[in-house]
Amino acid sequence: MAPSDLASLPVFLPLAGAALAMVAKAVKAAAPSRALEYAGAFIGLALPWAALVALAPGLLGAEVYTGVYGAWNGLLGIGYRFDGLAWLVNVLGFSVAGAAWVYSLGAGPRGPGFTAIFLIQAASLSAAISTTDVFNLFVCLEVLGMASYVLVAWSEKPGAYLAAFSYLMVSAAAMVFFLLGVYGLYRLTGSLSYQGIAGGLAALADGGGALARASVASIAAAVALRVAVMPLYGWLPDAHALAAHAVSAVLSGVLIKTPLFALSRFLLALPTGAAIGELACYAGALTALGGVIVALSQTDAKRLLAYHSISQIGYVTAAWGAGVTALGRGDPAGAVLLAAAFLHALYHAWFKGLLFLSVGTATDAVGERDVYMVRGAGATLRAAGERVPVTMLSFAVGALAISAIPPLSGYASKTAIVSALGQSWTTLALTVASVGTVASFIKLSRIFWPSRRSRPAPPVAGFRPRASMMAAQLFLLVLCLAGGLAAPVVSALVAGFLGGDASGPVPSYLFSASNLLKSLAITSAGAALFGLALTKPGRFLAELVRERPRAFHGLFVAFGVGLAVMTFWLGRGS
């Protein structure tokens, strides 16, 4: 099989697996139905790895595989470009999706219908990063969104349907503006491909003027909402907190990052890309800081994790934005920034997926998610049959990784981002956010602290930690440990796939005395902040933040504000 054909398999194999899962749904006998469902999951989540392994050597050698699906004429068909960025995003997506699906076998949701929708989501994520025209990006994001709305509601928890509906409504409204942006650019250039649009705008005397700026801003703002950058984050906390744990892991680890990296292809082809990147860098820093403040105020364990998804995407967006700005201005340092952004996106996918699965398992065992109420979750899990404390170890590794404790993965990727950004107010904001992260996860760790009772709370009736749940957690645990211990190697591979500096974004002084002392200072400050949060004034402030007024219409107001700011930003100096 030609490499260009192999490059299409990460899209088509999950779709084939989804079709097989739907056939399984039509089979009434339980055993054949389960066999067909599992075969579909294997085809959709395991076989793409064979294609990725086969393509890796060529991509590291700077090969790029392009083609048109169905061998159509290039002007009419759906084109794709599979390069190092696409390979990396597929690795991120399939590693987390595979672990999450295995976890769902034990914890639920399960069944052919769930597997089919899950695989359609995986296919749309892969297609979004490979497409080469803006209308197909719209289609991929819409399919991705529809699958995600259904998966959020699948948990059938109180509020899950409303969370899915809120996500659907605000996302659908934003994608209308995305489509208007596509129309505006097509009217100006007569093309939908990234390169065709860029060439068409460059041929216009004023670069397309106000219509081009408004169109690009509409597309970028709609993607920013999917990424959950402040102030466009309002849909995320409920969706991630109320979804099933396996779905939360994918939503947080993969869903909110793929559109960002897909957008980079489009922006890097445009002269206005640098301005969007600059605004994204500022928004990312504020998102990291604002997200952690709200996260620290939460009492619900999964909602705390959800707000940390917002905070951590702020780190990624800040580095991504700075990288797009630098490359748009011809500065090769932008490649290092983009590599640092992706490295943290990858590591975050692993440790946040691990945290959602471990915290979800622990809170299911005790039947409570309030971090002020739950204690002794490890003992409760042991009473439920977990002989080896896999869940508690998984939480510990995930919490230490997200808190950037050396030598775990989060320490390496956050150091890479700070090193690449250099000394700036953005770096200061990310450092302060790191202090809040440490405090938040000390707070969350309370669910595993020894119980005040003489005996731990008994496990919820019917709960049992199953082998598939433990296997999924162990897989992500190993990735988190390996990602930290082998950070220079992973960093060099990321840079190699992106065509950047062979040394990668992780600095050679990763474990220098000054870096380790800085990490110790941040950890100590986080512990102090946690202590302050437990005081009466601290609890009062946390309650004010937690109980701040929120309304459904606020999601639309936030999008309008974001779109207006982005349009104004692009219009400066024009």
Concatenating the DSSP letter of every residue in 425-468 gives HHHHHHHHHHHHHHHHHHHHGGGGSPPSSSSPPPPPTT----HH
Q: What is the pLDDT of residue 167?
A: 86
Beta-bridge partners for 131:
80
On the 0-12 / 13-18 / 19+ scale of CB atoms within 10 A, 333 is middle
CA-wise closest residue to 272 among 317, 328, 210: 328
Whole-number Cα distances in Å, 549 to 234, 543, 544, 554: 12, 12, 9, 10
Kindly calculate the radius of gyration of the chain based on its CA atoms and give it in whole angstroms: 23
> pLDDT tens across 14-55, in order?
999 999 999 998 888 888 999 999 999 999 999 999 999 999
Whole-number Cα distances in Å, 114 to 111, 226, 452, 538: 6, 22, 40, 42
On the 0-12 / 13-18 / 19+ scale of CB atoms within 10 A, 183 is middle
Question: How many whole angstroms separate alpha carbon 421 and alpha carbon 434?
Answer: 15
State the virtual CA torsion across 388, 390, 396, 402 in degrees, nearest 10: 170
Say if residues 250 and 96 touch (Cβ distance below 8 Å). Answer: yes
> In the 8-state DSSP scheme, what is residue 423?
S
Say if residues 519 and 404 touch (Cβ distance below 8 Å). Answer: yes
> In the 8-state DSSP scheme, what is residue 29?
S
Any residues with CB less than 8 A from the CB of 482 and at least 6 apart, and which?
none
Question: How many whole angstroms separate alpha carbon 342 and alpha carbon 90?
Answer: 12
Question: How many whole angstroms separate alpha carbon 60 and alpha carbon 83?
Answer: 9
Q: What is the pTM of this model?
A: 0.94
Any residues with CB less than 8 A from the CB of 295 and at least 6 apart, and which?
304, 307, 308, 310, 311, 436, 440
Q: What is the pLDDT of residue 273?
A: 83
Whole-number Cα distances in Å, 291 to 3, 188, 303, 466, 474: 42, 38, 11, 33, 28
Q: What is the pLDDT of residue 453?
A: 63
CA-wise closest residue to 172 among 148, 194, 195, 153: 148
Is the four-CA dihedral 360, 363, 367, 371 of positive or negative sign?
negative
Q: Render 325-348 in DSSP notation, one character per residue.
A: HHHHTT-THHHHHHHHHHHHHHHH
Q: What is the pLDDT of residue 557?
A: 85
| Strands, E assignment, 159-313 | none
Residues (pLDDT < 70) of the chain are 71, 73-76, 452-455, 500-502, 573-574
∠ CA(446), CA(450), CA(455), 5° rounding?
Answer: 135
> In the 8-state DSSP scheme, what is residue 243?
S
| Strands, E assignment, 39-174 | 65-68, 79-82
Any residues with CB less than 8 A from the CB of 314 and at least 6 apart, and which?
229, 230, 283, 284, 285, 286, 287, 288, 289, 290, 291, 430, 433
- At 114 the three-state DSSP class reads helix
Q: What is the pLDDT of residue 346?
A: 95
Q: What is the pLDDT of residue 75?
A: 66
Structure tokens at 427: 């770096």
- Per the omega criterion (within 30 degrees of 0), is the bond before 32 cis? no
Q: What is the pLDDT of residue 332?
A: 84
Q: Which amino acid is at 124?
A: S
- The Cα diameter of the chain in Å comes to 78
Question: How many whole angstroms separate alpha carbon 388 and alpha carbon 164?
Answer: 36
